[in-house]
Amino acid sequence: MKKNTKRLIAQLVFIVAVFTVWELYYYNVIEPSGKTLLFPELRSVGKAFMNAFTVNGFGAMVAHSMQLMLKGLLIGVILALIFSSLAVVSDTFYAIYNMIVSMFDLIPGIALTPIAILWLGIGDASIIFIVIHSVVWPMSRSIIDGFNAVPKLYLEVGENIGLSPVRLVFGVFLPAALSRIFSGIKMGWARAWRGLISAEMLFGSGGSKGIGYYITDRRTNMDIAGVFATILVIILIGLVVEYGVFRTIENHTFKKWGMSR
């Protein structure tokens, strides 16, 4: 049996086991008075999932959240690449920027929402600001670590053939650190996705009506099955991006080139 097939079977068995435990817990542990509010059965979650897209317009909210995510992610990736490239060619800039990354990477995006609201108001601009913050610092850290791991021999060869700092970045650092850069994008995506949902939940109906807003709305209406259904959508989107996008890119690039297992 191939390794990928064994992994797929293990994942499916785990999912079935989780659903089985879920149903057993619902019917044997939860008191009748709490079955509606505290913990829904899978059938109720499935019904709420279908109603979200067919009745409540959840598909448009998902599309809106993904649009904000892509905008913030793209800007964050570009800024991280620019600042990290400047850091690798200038010791002074490296010292300053590395300190900035160390400080701002520790700040949760949700902690900056009051500032975002004051500067940009309640809406899409503030959410994109949170997404950019969530992306640029962890990705910069990953890129800088990748640049620092470039063998010294590569740099000496580049300098000996007369490469300028700009050509050194594009001709040596970026190709050699490509796998680290890709890892930084994956990390930035995960951090940005959490920041996006949190910001939308905090802003509620006064801000962007995306996935986070829908969770808050379901909670306000005491629709716990709807909350679980929305969490399921968040998980499914994450799995699609991880296995459908990132893993596909890895399999056709880094693994094919022998740069990863």
The confidence score (pLDDT) of residue 258 equals 56
The confidence score (pLDDT) of residue 260 equals 55
Per-residue pLDDT tens digits for 44-94: 899 999 988 888 888 888 998 899 999 999 999 999 989 988 888 888 999
Percent of the chain topping pLDDT 70: 90
pLDDT of residue 146 exceeding 60: yes
Kindly state the average pLDDT of the residues 155-160: 71
The confidence score (pLDDT) of residue 1 equals 58
Contacts of 58 (CB under 8 A, 6+ apart): 52, 214, 230, 233
Domain coordinates of the chain in residue numbers? 57-252
Query: Ramachandran region of residue 40, left (φ > 0), alpha (ψ -120 to 50) or beta?
Result: beta
Architecture, CATH, for domain 57-252: Orthogonal Bundle (1.10)
Per-residue pLDDT tens digits for 18-37: 989 988 888 887 767 666 67
Cα–Cα distance measured from residue 174 to residue 183, given in angstroms and rounded to the nearest whole number = 13
Per-residue pLDDT tens digits for 175-227: 777 888 888 888 888 888 888 888 888 776 555 588 888 888 888 888 888 89
pLDDT of residue 255 exceeding 70: no
H helical segments located in 29-163 = 42-54, 58-89, 91-104, 113-120, 124-148, 152-160
Of the chain, the end-to-end C-alpha distance in Å amounts to: 19
- Tokens for 42, please give them: 């899978």
Q: How buried is 52 (Cβ within 10 angstroms: 0-12 exposed, 13-18 middle, 19+ buried)? A: buried
